[in-house]
Amino acid sequence: MAGAPQTSLEKEKELAALAAVKYVHDGQVIGLGTGSSAFYAIRAIGTLVRTGCRIRAVATSVRTGELAREAGIPLIDINTIDEIDLTIDGADEFTPDLMLIKGGGGALLREKIVASLTREQVIITDSTKRVDRLGHFPLPVEVIPFAARYVQKELARLGGTGKLRSKDNGVYHTDQGNYILDVDWGLIDNPRALAEQLNRIEGIACHGLFIDLTTRVLMGKGERVMVFEGGPAK
């Protein structure tokens, strides 16, 4: 992030973010993602705004809203629009066929709603996020607090071990006041089938499998940016 000397992974995130910001056009509604990669995109979009680009944006978290305001990006209420032109967000893992795990930063519910309203979803990552199969990263599952134990039991029935996320010696709360279970499944054989099973469990507000929502992934790798559009990288 800003201020500290930049590591090579931070450089990769920034390169990917700068490449993604080239897709931003005057007049668009932009979805702003959450996390350390999205931070670089927000900063670069702020520069565009200061040089005259007229966009409006929707933030995927309270933190992102604060960063956007600091950067001078005009924010709008998501309930005043029917569509988002472009969203730039990060991911915890992605496969070359554009399936993602998201939610490491806890913003998965708003991120999925924003992604669902978005015409063009550009994901930006460093080179550690590309995998052949999802599941190295525990899958974040956002649950309403009342259902936490029930959902944990249902996840166990499906073969997942869900650990309640904590923060500062207490339970972590999302921006919506929900809990997160970080679920270890081992490597996931069929993310689509798992997503459907999770969609049927009462009390789950959102899970971090993002399928059929991404247009392209821009991955920083050394000094380059690799582009994945549902096939081999370009």
Q: Which parts are annotated binding residues for substrate?
A: 89-92, 102-105, 129
Residue 120 a catalytic site member:
no
At closest approach, how far in Å is the CB of 112 from ligand 5RP? Answer: 10
Nearer to ligand 5RP, 26 or 68 (CB): 68
SS3 176: coil
Least separation in angstroms between CB 157 and ligand 5RP: 26
**What span, in angstroms and rounded, lies between the C-alpha atoms of 71 and 42?**
7
Q: Which residues contact 220 (CB under 8 A, 6 or more apart)?
A: 11, 12, 13, 14, 15, 16, 124, 125, 126, 127
Cite the annotated binding site by residue number: 89-92, 102-105, 129
- Which residue among the candidates 111, 120, 196, 223 is catalytic per the annotation? 111
User: What SS3 class is residue 210?
Assistant: strand
Nearer to ligand 5RP, 4 or 52 (CB): 4
The residue (of 104 and 162) whose beta carbon lies closer to ligand 5RP is 104
CA distance 84 to 112: 12
Q: Which residue, 87 or 152, has its beta carbon nearer to ligand 5RP?
A: 87
CB of 40 to ligand 5RP, least distance (A): 9
Question: Within 10 Å of residue 220's Cβ, how many Cβ atoms?
Answer: 27
Tokens at 205, concatenated: 């507000």
CA 234 – CA 229 distance, rounded (Å): 8
Q: How far is the CB of 26 from ligand 5RP (least distance, A)?
A: 26
Binding residues for ligand 5RP (CB under 6 A)? 33-37, 89-92, 102-108, 111
Active site residue ranges = 111
